[in-house]
Amino acid sequence: MILLFVVFVFLVSVFIGVPLVWAILLTSILPIIVFDLGYPLQALYLNFIGGVEPNHFLAIPLFIVAGELMSRGGVGERIIEFARNAFGFMAGGLGMVVVGASMIFGGISGSAIADSAAIGSVMIKNMAKQGYARPFAAGLVAAAGTIGIIIPPSIPMLIYGFVGNVSVAELFLAGMVPGLLFGLFFMAVCYWVGKSTGCDPGGRTVSRAELWRSFVQTAPALFMPILILGGIFSGWVTPTEAAALAVVYGLIVTMGVYRDFRIRDLPALMVDAFVISATVMVVIGATTVLGWLITLEQMPQILVAFVQDFSSSPWVFLLLVNIVLLILGLVLDPVPAILLTAPLFLPTAQTFGVDPVHLGVIMTCNVAVGLFTPPVGATLYVASRISGDGVLSIARAMAPLYIMAIAALMLVTYVPAISMTMVHLFR
């Protein structure tokens, strides 16, 4: 009964427009009052403060700063040029450039919004000139940008790892192949659109020398994910230290190598990064309060019993996870969606024998789909602002991309080897 009440209060609060943090806190307070649970309200404050105190959360603002550094310099243009040389010769090649560049940029910034903004500002206009429908071009940018939170480094995965005490290194490893799978499925849509409409039959094949030259220009930026992941996997640095290393390396690349970011630009960048980080940390504090209530009231055990009433199969549980997260993705950004559901799903997953790393990848893929799904999809609104097209017209043009995204999500969910093979190789 309390679990249903919590879900009802939260959904109603969100849909009537209560700010997210207040909706979460309201969802935590009302059950204590309505059901007379007897918990002191002072405990809410203590859990809020305690939720943001752990030192490992320093990795979040550091990765945000590193992503901002790489997205504000000329890294995006160099990545697009490299992707154009690699994919532009195929049918639908310009669309594939968007997907390929998004995958590469996502491995550097870890931010879907930064990815969509950097790639979309250049490529939506170019795709429209090539003959693509402008809403489809915007939709492709919105969808491909979300690969940035599946391919490591990924802030949602980082938060899931911290909240669930799951290895961040293994989560990053597990996200690599699913990210590539989403990218390949989106590229297939681009090939079909370019071929069927005749708008993009493919350009000229570049020489190996041109391809190598564009790779060399992009290589300093491409080394960042190698530095981060290599440092974490080797045990040389912790995720937090890797985030600090990423900031230092980002400064070296943008200011020393490419020279397209100046020291006087740093204060504005730091303010923007601080605002983003503060928003994330306040949400973490609020969801820690709700997580405390969820644990005390044994809601994971209630959920297990609820699912087992239908079936004892992990397939049914994973289907429930997908349904819940896809619905939450309609109204929530990835970070709060993961923070709210991880305390419920993790204990339940262990009961059904689902690996916590596999669950983390499934949850990340779900919230990635939510990022380009109306009415709240963040990358959808970024692409809409850049292109000037309405959100609904973009969403209609994205129908094939939605279908392929759900197909990829189902494969990741029900074929654990897609995400876990890399993990098992390094365990």
Distance between CA atoms of residues 325 and 365, nearest Å: 10
Residue 307 has pLDDT above 80, yes or no: no
| Amino acid 73: pLDDT | 61
Residue 360 has pLDDT above 90, yes or no: yes
What does residue 49 show for φ and ψ, rounded to 5 degrees?
Answer: -65, -45
More confident call, 345 vs 69: 345
Band (398; pLDDT cuts 50, 70, 90): very high
Contact 407, 369 (CB under 8 A): no
Mean pLDDT value across the chain: 85
Distance between CA atoms of residues 120 and 116, nearest Å: 5
Distance between CA atoms of residues 309 and 297, nearest Å: 20
For 5, 156, 376, the CA distances from 10, given in Å and listed in that order, are 9, 21, 16
Mean pLDDT, residues 384-413: 92
- 153 CB-near residues (< 8 Å, 6+ apart): 63, 107, 110, 172, 225, 228, 229, 242, 243, 246
Distance between CA atoms of residues 99 and 91, nearest Å: 14
Mean pLDDT, residues 48-53: 84
More confident call, 252 vs 55: 252
Residue 420 has pLDDT above 70, yes or no: yes
Dihedral (CA of 418, 419, 424, 426) sign: positive
| Amino acid 254: pLDDT | 85
Contact 140, 186 (CB under 8 A): yes
More confident call, 19 vs 375: 19
More confident call, 410 vs 386: 410
Distance between CA atoms of residues 210 and 334, nearest Å: 38
| Amino acid 311: pLDDT | 67
Distance between CA atoms of residues 373 and 394, nearest Å: 10
Mean pLDDT, residues 387-415: 93
pLDDT in tens, 25-47: 888 888 888 888 888 878 888 88
Contact 268, 208 (CB under 8 A): no
| Amino acid 189: pLDDT | 95
Report DSSP letters for 367-426, one per residue: HHHHHTSTTT-HHHHHHHHHH---HHHHHHHTHHHHHHHHHHHHHHHH-THHHHHHHHHH
Residue 76 has pLDDT above 80, yes or no: no
Segment of 114-118, 257-261, 315-319 carrying the highest mean pLDDT = 315-319
Say what the alpha-carbon torsion angle 93, 78, 155, 114 is, to the nearest 10 degrees. -80
Distance between CA atoms of residues 349 and 328, nearest Å: 19
pTM (two decimals): 0.85
Mean pLDDT, residues 178-196: 93
Distance between CA atoms of residues 102 and 32, nearest Å: 45
Q: 88-102, 110-124, 167-181: which range is least confident on average?
A: 110-124
| Amino acid 206: pLDDT | 78
Mean pLDDT, residues 101-111: 79
Parse the chain into domains and list their residue ranges: 1-38, 50-426
Residue 188 has pLDDT above 90, yes or no: yes
Percentage of the chain exceeding pLDDT 70: 98
Mean pLDDT, residues 416-425: 91
| Amino acid 150: pLDDT | 92
Band (427; pLDDT cuts 50, 70, 90): low
| Amino acid 329: pLDDT | 82
- 415 CB-near residues (< 8 Å, 6+ apart): none
More confident call, 333 vs 145: 145
Q: 66-70, 250-254, 359-363: which range is least confident on average?
A: 66-70
Band (180; pLDDT cuts 50, 70, 90): very high
Instruction: Verify cis geometry, omega within 30 degrees of 0, for the bond prior to 336.
Output: no
Contact 398, 165 (CB under 8 A): no
